[in-house]
Structure formats: structure tokens, C-alpha cells
Structure 1
Amino acid sequence: MPTWQNRRIIDLFGIDVPIIQAPMAGSSTPELAVAVSEAGGLGSLPCALMSAEQAREAIGVIRAKTKRPLNLNFFCHVPPQHDAVRNMRWRNRLAPYYVEFGLDPEVTPPAAGRRPFDDDYCALVEETRPEVVSFHFGLPERALLERVKATGAKIVSSATTVAEARWLEAHGCDAIIAMGLEAGGHRGNFLTHDVATQVGTFALVPQVADAVKVPVIAAGAIADARGIVAAFALGASAVQIGTAYLFCPEVKLSATYAKALREASDDSTAITNVFTGRPARGIVNRAIRELGPLSADAPEFPLAGGALLPLRTQSEQTGSGDFSNLWSGQAARLAREVPAAQLTRTLEAQALALFGALGT
């Protein structure tokens, strides 16, 4: 029976299958993490939309159902400074939609709720001791990072350029996610904000693999065995898969979101900042077409989402995703609607069979 020849991530994380389930805040569930971990991959729990107490409860659910390794994921953005002019400009852009939906444009919308990694989250890590802790948008301050490392957790973060990969290695990462332009959700960039120069997965992976000594995890438009084999051929030791897991019954999606994913094609997505203030790839809808894709008026991350929330709520009540962030990578068409454990095992079997057929 074929086996994985490149075991760097398998041995580093203590898993059986070099497949990491992307965290996907807002869509991932404890049940998804359990299913992937039990199938031999690395299940992930996104914590940025949770309080420390909510994350603690979710971790408890996961640990009660599996003893396999777990990845906790956190954001590392710097909280934005209040910019009254920019906020007003954004409100003015959205005012016609408020009127259309019968909403009062003068009502102050709720603040967006994404938290960066802080002392409370760090204490949670120290208490629950996950095997892997991953970060998005760089790394937390040194003192917090050292506390995480002291728990024995392996440290991972996303790089969208070779320069970011080198920075992450120099600052203590045990593995690096090479996140290509094709990936769904928020870009992981932190040294550059120039979206126009971002790199595709299969150009980025080999250059990152050549530039760093730590193992590399490929992410972006990998949804079947062909993508896995290609990533390994280019120097990756594992893959991180997001969009393909969104088709599994364990995720939490609205009917509108699920329908959009099923109908998505290779050119259905765009990188936009209109939903949160930070570039992210999602399925094109009315908000992206009419407000972006990239808008200079959108407040800094994560503040843009607050003013959009009433519009999202109103439109979703009628079954519309016009103002919803429908995150997706460019390979949604390759995904299959099967349970997460079955997907993980099938991807492993098909990838190993393809390696065998290629004589690798």
C-alpha cells in the first residue's frame, strides 16, 4: 500500500494524513474539526469570532469526541484607529441601500467582532494546550508568542510572499502556509498591502520551499488529489484545504451561501475589501459589483462589516446573498458534497494512488 514519502508535517504535527482543514471563521464547526482529525488530518477551530469562553466550550466539545491533534487559529491584526471621516464616507456610500431596504441611515450600526490574539486567548492556549496554534496576518507580539511556544504547541502562520515566509521563519514559525492568490477568505498578507502583486499558489509554493528550512503547507485552489500531488511536487509537505470542506454537512452555512458555492465557476470569485475592510476572496454578488471589488471608502479591518450587517440581515431574510460575504476559493467546482471524514480519506487515497501511478 502506498505511503506518504514526505512526512515532515505528518511527524511535526503527529497526524496521519498531511491535510489541514482551513479554519474558516464563521463556517467551521467543532464537528468539522472532529471529523477531519478522526480521519487522520488536522482539524482546525477558528477563534477570532469567539470570545475566549466560547472557544473554551468549543474545544471541550472537540476534546470529548477526539484525542487527535487540534489546531487553534487566531488573527493577529492591529486594532484600527477610529477614523470619523472614513466611517462617514462609508456610511454615505451605503445610505442608498439603507433607504432601499427601509432602514434608517442615521442609526449607528454594530461594531464588527473580530478579535486579535491577546492575553485572554493566550491563557486559553495555555489551559487547553492544542497541538498546533496557527495565526493569520503575521504573528502576535513576542511575549505572547513565547508563552504559546512554552506550551509545546507548534506555531504556524500564513505567508503570501517569499518575504513574508522568511519573516515568519525568522520569528519562530515551525511551519509556513504558502497561501496563493486563489485561496478563499481573507488574504494572510501582513508585510504588503498591494493586492495587485500577490502570487498564485503554484508559483508561490516552490519559491517559499526554496527560501525557508521549515516545512511548507500549500493553500489555495487545492480541492482534489491532482492539486495535492502538484503541491507536493513543488515542495510542499502538506496542503491546507478550505473551500472543498464547505461542501461537507458538518459546516454551518446559510442556504444562500451553499447555493452560491454549488453554482460557482472558476471565474465566479473576486478579491474584495467591502465586507470587512481587508482583502478577501469571495463569490461576486451585488455588494462586490457595486461597492468594489476594492473600495478606498471601506473602513479599516474589521470595521467595514458593521455598517453592512443590517443590509446583510435584510437581504438574507428574502433568500438573497447580495450583501453577504460568500468566501470561496477558485476551485469550488472541483469539490464534492460528502462528509468531511470521507472527503479526507478519499483525498488521501486518491493522492497516494496518483503518486503511485506517477512512480513517485
Structure 2
Amino acid sequence: MSSALTDLFPRPIVQAPMAGGVSRPQLAAAVSDAGGLGFLAAGYKTADGMYEEIKQVRGLTGRPFGVNLFLPQPDHADPAAIVVYRHQLAGEAAWYETRLGDPDVGLDDGYVAKLAILVDDPVPVVSFHFGCPTREVVESLKRVGTLTLVTATTPEEAQTVQWVGADGVIAQGIEAGGHQGTHRDNVENDGAGLGLLTLVSQIRETAQLPIIAAGGLMRGSQIASVLAAGADAAQLGTAFLITPESGAHVLHKQALTDPLFNRTRLTRAFSGRPARALVNRFLREHGPYAPAAYPQIHHLTAGLRKAAAKAGDPQGMALWAGQGHRLARELPAGELVEVLTAELEAAGDALVLRRAS
């Protein structure tokens, strides 16, 4: 499906916006320069911090790029459950010689201020995570020439994305690393998400808009599979996390292919919202007890995670990773786009040959 969105980048490869300092301007620019669509992650940054990174990307590339925003979250958390979890983490704070964070420092991630900057000084693409923006927000961006994407984890969420007038949907399968972008944080549905190929196929039959497939993709042959299922492009996060342009901590990069960390699991342990990470000590010990309270738990554990990284202890860090993490390749981001493209083309040629035989 050719569209204003997919015509922006000649290669069907989108670099996922990974918050927490991973998606640096250098990474976004390198992917865009290689013909993909690079992304900045505005999550957990101030509005001014986001704008500084936008200016850095503009100084590094003239190619289109995107910025991702977190939607403000409703305050449905149980304060008593947060207090109980805080007590549970007291031993972690003592071990790492740090303080637990304030869970009440804000629920909106500076959304209004960031949106105002993006309307005043537009970027080519803005994407949204943890919900769906209003029609009014989408229209305000459309008026200044910005295209919009919204994450969806179900066909129903994709229909909502279409209804608000977004230019495309990011279909996020259960295999994806990091936070699931569900529109409603429903505890009953923890771990019950759809696999990527099934999700893409169902969205293709229920919504008429470009689909960017996300979830555990690490090879060009996998990109070929989601394109064959109905996607128009693929979004990769874990594959780019290990690149030199990524701002991920070195311990996080090493853990992706370390035999010690051989599986992933969805957990609320670090942030209070379901997110896929490598299974480590912190996840095992605290995951079963973490309440549904985002971003309160994120703020509560932020200092712990930083202290663990400073201490050189990956067992206390949030090691976000998709299910395909063992396939990570330590290549420069631009070279990785080239390799993925070659693999994608080879997979297409192989399919043509099989059909002809």
C-alpha cells in the first residue's frame, strides 16, 4: 500500500522509539539516512529535552524522522498497593544504597507541552503509545503537515486508530520488547495478547490504513513474512538496541546475547505496566507482586535501576528485549538497515523461485 506515510522512507524498516535514552539522535539519523524511518523517543524526557534532540537530528540528517509521545494515563492505581510494593522494595534500596523514587511526580509525561512544540515546529511523523489521541490532536498535527501513527495491540484498537483519522497503525504483537502499547491497562488480559502475524492479518481485514508490524523482528526474512501477511513496513527495536548508535547501557547490550539471559517475560516489576524484558533476579523476585500502577511504579523504581547499572549489576536493571533478542547483531545502524534490506530481497527472490518450481 503506497501512502503519504510509506512514501516517506524507501525501505520498509522503521526503528522503534525506545525510551530511557536508547533512541538517541545519532540512531534515528543513521536509520533515516540508510532509507528507513528513524525515531526519537520523547517518553520520560522534558519538553525542552525532546526539542533539543529534534534539533540534533535535524543537524545530522535531512531525511524524514519521527517522534514518539506517551499518552497521559488515567489514575486508576490503588495507593495501598503502591505502599505495599514500596515496602517490598526497601531491601533493594538498601542493597544499592539509594532511595526509592516518588511515585506521584506526574501521570502525563509532559504531554501537552510536548504536543505544543510539535505543532509549533512540526516534524514529519509523530507516533503515540499507551492509548489513542483524540481526533482534535490528530487534526492539529495534520494541519501542520505531520503524519501520525498509533500503536494498537488488537483489531479493535486499530479500528479506533482509524476512527480518529491517524495515517497508520503500529500493530504490536505480544513478542515485542519493552512496554505493550495497549489502550487500556487491563490486568485480566496480562499475557493474552496476539502474536504478530495473527494481529497483522486481523487488522488488515478490519481497518483500511497502512500497517507497521512490530514484535520480535530481527531478520529480513521475518520482515518478508509480515509484509506477506499484510503489513506495509516493519518496526524493529531490539535489533537496533545493540548498535553503537544506541544509547542503551553496555550491560543491557551485552545481556541480549548472554546465555545467562536466555528468555523474556512480560512483567510489571519495573514500571507497573506490562513490558517484555530479559528474565533476571529483580523480575523473578518482584514481578509476581508488582501492582498495576503506571507510571507510579516506573518513578518508584527509577533510582533502583540507575543504581544497579552504576554498580554493574544487570540483575537489577530493566533489560527490555523482544523474543528474538538472541538474534541481535552488533552492527552500525545504517549497515544493519542494509543487511536487513538484502535479507528481505533474498527472501522475496526465494519465494518467487519456489512458486515457479
TM-score of the superposed pair, with normalisation by structure 1: 0.90
Deviations 1:318-345 (A, max 9, x none): 3112221111000012221110001111
Deviations 1:103-140 (A, max 9, x none): 57xx7647567744633112211233111110001222
Change (3 A) 1:82 1:282: closer
- Aligned residue pairs total 350
CA distance in structure 1 between the partners assigned to 2:40 and 2:128 by the alignment: 12
> 1:9, 1:238 within 8 Å by CA — same for their partners in 2?
no
Match of 1:348 in 2: 341
Measured after TM superposition, the shift of residue 49 of structure 1 is: 1.6
CA distance in structure 2 between the partners assigned to 1:317 and 1:11 by the alignment: 40
Match of 1:255 in 2: 250
Measured after TM superposition, the shift of residue 264 of structure 1 is: 5.8
Could you tell me which runs of 5 or more consecutive residues in structure 1 were left unpaired when the two chains were aligned: 1-6
Measured after TM superposition, the shift of residue 57 of structure 1 is: 1.0
Pairs within 5 Å for 1:233-312: 233-263=228-258, 268-292=263-287, 294-295=288-289, 297-298=290-291, 300-312=293-305
> 1:19, 1:238 within 8 Å by CA — same for their partners in 2?
yes
Change (3 A) 1:77 1:264: farther
Measured after TM superposition, the shift of residue 229 of structure 1 is: 0.7
CA distance in structure 2 between the partners assigned to 1:30 and 1:187 by the alignment: 23
Match of 2:225 in 1: 230
Q: Is the aligned partner of 1:8 residue 2:2? A: yes
Change (3 A) 1:209 1:265: farther
Match of 1:160 in 2: 153
Bigger mean CA offset, 259-268 vs 28-37: 259-268
CA distance in structure 2 between the partners assigned to 1:267 and 1:113 by the alignment: 35
CA distance in structure 1 between the partners assigned to 2:156 and 2:260 by the alignment: 32
Q: Is the aligned partner of 1:171 residue 2:130? A: no
Deviations 1:162-220 (A, max 9, x none): 11111111121211111000000100111462123210111111111111110111110
CA distance in structure 1 between the partners assigned to 2:260 and 2:144 by the alignment: 43
SS at match of 2:14: strand
> 2:257, 2:327 within 8 Å by CA — same for their partners in 1?
no
Q: Supply the RMSD in Å over aligned alpha carbons.
A: 2.3
SS at match of 1:156: strand
> 2:40, 2:68 within 8 Å by CA — same for their partners in 1?
yes
SS at match of 1:8: coil
Bigger mean CA offset, 144-153 vs 94-103: 94-103
TM-score of the superposed pair, with normalisation by structure 2: 0.91
Pairs within 5 Å for 1:95-110: 95-101=90-96, 109=102
> 1:264, 1:283 within 8 Å by CA — same for their partners in 2?
no
Bigger mean CA offset, 76-85 vs 48-57: 76-85
CA distance in structure 1 between the partners assigned to 2:101 and 2:72 by the alignment: 24
Match of 1:28 in 2: 23
Match of 1:217 in 2: 212
> 2:153, 2:182 within 8 Å by CA — same for their partners in 1?
yes
Match of 1:4 in 2: none
Match of 2:179 in 1: 186
Match of 2:12 in 1: 18
SS at match of 2:63: coil
1:46 pairs with 34, 38, 41, which one?
41
Change (3 A) 1:351 1:133: same
Could you tell me which runs of 5 or more consecutive residues in structure 2 were left unpaired when the two chains were aligned: none
